[in-house]
């Protein structure tokens, strides 16, 4: 346990930040999983594009809050975009 007031406050702050970060990461991962599920289910092009748009917005928000790094967010967006585009092109054939 913390012995000083400033250490107690730092502990409270870090716990609060951890909670916020966990919530944001959880939401982002949930949307990524939902999008991947839509891809597996071979959803329509409009559904995929709409879901990708929402997922990218959440990834951007998570990056902006500093929960994940910018390159990590860009990597997620790139890979998801590739998967969606591939799924769309397969449904058109």
* Nearest to 84, CA basis, from 57, 62, 51: 51
Determine the pLDDT at residue 2.
76
Determine the pLDDT at residue 3.
86
Determine the pLDDT at residue 70.
97
Q: Between the CA of residue 23 and those of 5, 16, 27, 86, what are the distances in Å?
A: 27, 11, 6, 30
- pLDDT (tens digit, 9 = 90+) per residue, 33-70? 999 999 999 889 999 999 999 999 999 999 999 999 99
0.85 exceeded by pTM: yes
Round to whole Å and give the CA distance between 31 and 73: 13
For the chain, what are the domain ranges? 27-92
Asked if residue 73 lies in contact with residue 55, where contact means CB atoms within 8 angstroms, the answer is: no
């Amino acid at each position: 346990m913390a012995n000083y007031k400033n250490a107690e406050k730092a502990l409270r702050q870090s716990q609060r930040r951890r909670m916020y970060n966990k919530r944001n990461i959880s939401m982002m991962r949930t949307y990524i999983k939902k999008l991947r599920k839509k891809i597996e289910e071979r959803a329509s092009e409009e559904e995929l594009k709409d879901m990708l748009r929402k997922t990218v917005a959440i990834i951007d928000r998570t990056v902006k809050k500093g929960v994940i790094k910018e390159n990590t967010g860009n990597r997620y967006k790139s890979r998801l975009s590739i998967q969606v585009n591939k799924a769309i092109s397969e449904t058109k054939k």
